[in-house]
Amino acid sequence: MATQESIYTLRRIRQKYVQEKGLLYAQQALAAALVGGAILLKWKFEIPVLAIVALSIVLGAVIYFVFALSQVMKTTLRQVARHLNRNYPQLEDSTELLLQPQEELNLLQRLQQQKVIQALQAIHPEKEKVFSLSSTYTRAALGLALVISAGILYLPAAPLKAFSAPKEVKVTFPDAPETDTDTAASIQKIEITVTPPAYTAKQAYRAEQPNIRVEEGATVNWHVTTNKPATKLQLVLNDASSYLNFKKTNKSYSLSQSFTAPTLYHINLNGQKSAYYTIEIIPDEVPAIRVDKPKQYTEILFGDPQRVVLQGQLSDDYGIRDANLIATVAKGSGEAVKFSEAKLDLGINFSNRQRSHQLNKAIDLQKLGMTYGDELYFYIQAWDNHRGYTRSEIYLVQIEDTTIVEAAFDMSMGVNPVPEYFRSQRQIIIDTEKLIAEQKNLTQAVFEERSNTIGIDQKLLRLRYGKFLGEEAESGIGPGGGIPEGEKGHEEHSADDGHNHQEFENQSSPEALLDPYMHKHDQEGEATIFDPEVKTKLQGSLAQMWEAELRLRTNRPKEALPFEYKALRLLKEVQQSTRAYVAKTGFEAPPLKEPELRLTGELDKITPPSDKSTIKEEERLPNTRAALQWLEHQKQNRRYSQTDAQLLERAGQELAKQALATPGRYLHAMQDLRTLIADMNSQKPLCQPCLLTVERAWQELLPLARQTAQKQASVRSRLSREYMERLNR
């Protein structure tokens, strides 16, 4: 038993050693990873060399930590025992005896093992640090890495542009003749400078390749130097659809052009056309507005501060020029409502051209002239440095109207925050279903308050509809009053339930028979303009509202829901019954003599239509189809003529129109097409890989062929029929 405890002590020492060593290696790896992460966070992938170095540092730190930790995990208990022998002389270099079974030890070794066990229990090495891991240098390296990382993040990015010197822009001419450079004009040097528009606040930079990606509205300047004066030097856009002439200054030529849409271009030097290159546009995004507080609808209750805290964020890709808040205050109700609009400053300085601004503004409602019952509608609008404009959604803030609470019922009762024009029977059903769904997440007090509030709304709606029946008070409205026969059910009644049973017993009396035809002025419920049937349905709807209100006031919304649905259905029936319908009039076809003409087979009086019209579908990409046919013949005889070059030129124009949408997809095919045309003009063998690339691009342009029904060939033998069936599976 003592041996097992000693082994358990060695394991705890090993575990503590692995944890300390792992933490040491983690700090070392973190120090290196911080430097690499700071480089990536500062310059991202704008400078490829720095990006590769940063990724290498981070990856090396991860590999180092994983490898070092795996080596530490290989530490055995025998190594721990040797370490204890070196640190504690009282163990007499015999700690390894604890790892051997007693059956394999002789008498002397067993005695020595018992002595080591007693010594190990006396010193308790698992409770103290028996190994020294120097972490001073590690902590110093970690602190130095934090300082370097902070310095990199605050270091301006402009000085590092010197490390990424622009490469020489090379433009190739596939159709250039093989002549001496001393006799033919050629381009010695070309420089492409991009000047971003003013709204980006960027400085001009040089492009490293002829395929460039510029900001919307940027100006691109080409500066070309030739060995000899050129008779014609043009920049052709969209495959000869338009071109621009270079301006000559001494021995060089220059051209500037602004671009707002993507395009393809090539350079025409004395009739020699270069390969196709692309100009892609980086669009200017509109400002983004995010509002965290307040919510879409906010109600300020009685006693709360009459202010709203606005929190959120404004962001744009190149900075925001201006932003403000438009507030509209609505005072009054009904037809007497008045509106006033105000423009509020957000308290943000937009002169520093930051890309992101935090919103934090308190709106004082009293300064806007608001009081109880008023509503505030506001939204935020923002402009960027270019032409971008955006606005947020409209937010509503309402101050609780305490005067309505005092006039209608007790001050302790709540008010539904939904505006009055939304308080219909359908809205009461929606509120009840919402309360039932959220009951599990509400406290009992909140649940009872919301149920009572919905009951109050049901009461207000019942009184509003009761005015149509001449009810100026709540008398005469009770459970079961005015419910149609189809809605009453089979409830049992007693003599003291409050119902007038004598009225139903005397329905056969002369007075009861004359009631529908008498005009009574001074009785409650008779001064209406409705028909008796409509009035009965309306009374039934009020009775259902009464039952729903009873259950809502007693905190039973689930039981009130069926009565609310019945009230809504009766109200809809009242609305339909008050509408007038007019029968539609139109042409009525004469009846067919079906028994006389059916299945007689007489078709002499039936003449087929004689008018025929043929609609010929316009063929798409005719030159591309013709070029594909030429390619099929080319694979067989490998011959071409000068007219074939013109066919490829026309097919290339169709390819260039499609390439404007996705320049990078067909750029390689257009360059190979230019190589093929150059080979034809110089009577050279055609480039076979170029033929495959151009054919694949043209085939992608063609629309899919329509599937037509094919007549299945008749198969006579049983074996062939079974073979065809297996193929069609």
- The per-residue pLDDT of the chain, averaged, comes to 76
Asked if residue 600 is part of any domain, the answer here is no
pLDDT of residue 161: 44
pLDDT band at 504 (very low <50, low <70, confident <90, very high): very low
**Beta-ladder partners of 363:** 308
pLDDT band at 243 (very low <50, low <70, confident <90, very high): confident
pLDDT of residue 560: 92
pLDDT of residue 250: 72
pLDDT of residue 571: 85
- Strands 212-215 and 277-282 turn out to be parallel
Based on the structure, what is the number of domains in the chain?
A: 5
Q: How many residues does the chain have?
A: 729
pLDDT of residue 411: 36
pLDDT of residue 545: 92
- Residues 146 and 13 occupy one common structural domain: yes
**Cα–Cα distance for residue pair 289/579, rounded to 1 Å:** 48
What value does the mean pLDDT take over residues 444-459? 91
**Cα–Cα distance for residue pair 509/105, rounded to 1 Å:** 121
- Residues 22 and 81 occupy one common structural domain: yes
Asked if residue 31 is part of any domain, the answer here is yes
pLDDT band at 534 (very low <50, low <70, confident <90, very high): confident
**Cα–Cα distance for residue pair 388/385, rounded to 1 Å:** 7
pLDDT of residue 548: 92
Q: What percent of the chain has pLDDT over 90?
A: 12
Q: State the pTM of this model.
A: 0.45
Q: What percent of the chain has pLDDT over 70?
A: 74
* Nearest to 330, CA basis, from 423, 416, 394, 381: 394
Asked if residue 58 is part of any domain, the answer here is yes
Where is pLDDT greater, at 558 or 47?
558
pLDDT of residue 524: 53
Q: DSSP per residue over 247-299, as a string?
A: EEETTEEEEEEEESS-EEEEEEETTEE---EEEEEEPPPPPEEEEEES-SEEE
Asked if residue 511 is part of any domain, the answer here is no
**Cα–Cα distance for residue pair 47/156, rounded to 1 Å:** 14
Instruction: Order the strands of the 205-206 sheet from edge to edge.
Output: 205-206, 187-195, 218-226, 252-259, 247-249
pLDDT of residue 2: 52
Query: Max Cα separation, the chain?
Result: 130
3-state SS of 421-460?
HHCCHHHHHHHHHHHHHCHHHCCHHHHHHHHHHHHHHHHH
Q: What are the tens digits of pLDDT across the range 359-409?
A: 999 999 988 888 888 899 999 999 998 888 999 999 999 987 755 433 333
Residue 188 corresponds to which tokens in the numbers above?
């010695």
**Cα–Cα distance for residue pair 154/38, rounded to 1 Å:** 10
pLDDT band at 484 (very low <50, low <70, confident <90, very high): very low
**Cα–Cα distance for residue pair 124/319, rounded to 1 Å:** 65
93-107, 189-203, 673-687, range with the lowest pLDDT: 93-107
3-state SS of 288-349?
EEEEEECCCEEEECCCCCCEEEEEEEEECCCCEEEEEEEEEEEECCHHHCEEEEEEEECCCC
DSSP 193: E
The three-class DSSP label of residue 165 is: coil
- Residues 6 and 107 occupy one common structural domain: yes
Distances (CA, A) of 554 to 385, 450, 456, 542, 564: 60, 11, 12, 18, 15
Where is pLDDT greater, at 659 or 344?
344
Rounded to 5°, the CA angle 333-338-342 comes to 130
pLDDT of residue 476: 44
- Residues 533 and 476 occupy one common structural domain: yes
pLDDT of residue 454: 92
pLDDT at 550 over 80: yes
644: containing domain: 622-701
pLDDT at 410 over 60: no
- Residues 562 and 423 occupy one common structural domain: yes
pLDDT of residue 218: 92
Q: Are 639 and 618 in contact (CB under 8 A)?
A: no
pLDDT of residue 178: 57
Tell me the backbone φ, ψ of residue 207, rounded to 5 degrees: -80, 145
Where is pLDDT greater, at 515 or 246?
246
Packing angle, helices 48-73 and 2-43, rounded to 10 = 180
pLDDT band at 497 (very low <50, low <70, confident <90, very high): very low
Q: What is the CATH number of the domain that holds 308?
A: 2.60.40.10
- Residues 643 and 540 occupy one common structural domain: no
- Strands 233-237 and 263-269 turn out to be antiparallel
pLDDT band at 186 (very low <50, low <70, confident <90, very high): confident
pLDDT of residue 421: 37
What value does the mean pLDDT take over residues 115-127? 71
Asked if residue 497 is part of any domain, the answer here is no
pLDDT at 414 over 50: no
**Cα–Cα distance for residue pair 653/677, rounded to 1 Å:** 13
153-167, 369-383, 560-574, 634-648, range with the lowest pLDDT: 153-167
**Cα–Cα distance for residue pair 608/599, rounded to 1 Å:** 19
pLDDT of residue 488: 42
**Cα–Cα distance for residue pair 233/173, rounded to 1 Å:** 13
- Residues 14 and 105 occupy one common structural domain: yes
Domain boundary among 139, 154, 169: 154
Q: What is the CATH number of the domain that holds 258?
A: 2.60.40
**Cα–Cα distance for residue pair 114/105, rounded to 1 Å:** 12
Burial 120-159 (b: 16+ CB within 10 A, else e): beeeebbeeebeeeeeeebeeebeebeeebeebeeeeeee
**Cα–Cα distance for residue pair 136/67, rounded to 1 Å:** 22
Q: Are 308 and 365 in contact (CB under 8 A)?
A: yes
- Residues 357 and 476 occupy one common structural domain: no
What value does the mean pLDDT take over residues 120-133? 64
pLDDT at 181 over 70: no
pLDDT at 420 over 90: no
> Could you tell me the end-to-end alpha-carbon distance of the chain, in angstroms, rounded to an integer?
73
What value does the mean pLDDT take over residues 211-224? 90
**Cα–Cα distance for residue pair 166/169, rounded to 1 Å:** 9
What value does the mean pLDDT take over residues 78-102? 75
pLDDT of residue 708: 57
pLDDT of residue 482: 42
What value does the mean pLDDT take over residues 399-421? 46
What value does the mean pLDDT take over residues 171-182? 60
pLDDT of residue 547: 93
The three-class DSSP label of residue 662 is: coil
Asked if residue 277 is part of any domain, the answer here is yes
- Residues 450 and 572 occupy one common structural domain: yes
pLDDT at 191 over 80: yes
Residue 335 corresponds to which tokens in the numbers above?
């037809």
Rounded to 5°, the CA angle 484-486-491 comes to 90
Residue 511 corresponds to which tokens in the numbers above?
């007075």
Q: What are the tens digits of pLDDT across the range 286-327?
A: 999 999 989 988 888 866 888 899 999 999 988 898 999 999
Q: Amino acid identity, residue 473?
A: A
**Cα–Cα distance for residue pair 396/299, rounded to 1 Å:** 8
pLDDT of residue 675: 80
74-88, 257-271, 370-384, 523-537, range with the lowest pLDDT: 523-537
**Cα–Cα distance for residue pair 695/306, rounded to 1 Å:** 72
Q: What are the tens digits of pLDDT across the range 471-482?
A: 654 544 444 444
pLDDT of residue 74: 79
pLDDT band at 127 (very low <50, low <70, confident <90, very high): low
Asked if residue 372 is part of any domain, the answer here is yes
pLDDT at 6 over 50: yes
Residue 294: is the preceding peptide bond cis (ω within 30°)? yes
pLDDT at 511 over 50: yes
pLDDT of residue 395: 92
**Cα–Cα distance for residue pair 78/97, rounded to 1 Å:** 10
pLDDT of residue 312: 92
- Residues 674 and 534 occupy one common structural domain: no
Burial label for 523, CB within 10 Å (0-12, 13-18, 19+), is: exposed
Where is pLDDT greater, at 381 or 44?
381
Asked if residue 588 is part of any domain, the answer here is no
pLDDT of residue 119: 76
- Residues 269 and 297 occupy one common structural domain: no
* Nearest to 461, CA basis, from 563, 311, 333: 563
pLDDT at 251 over 70: yes
- Residues 218 and 233 occupy one common structural domain: yes
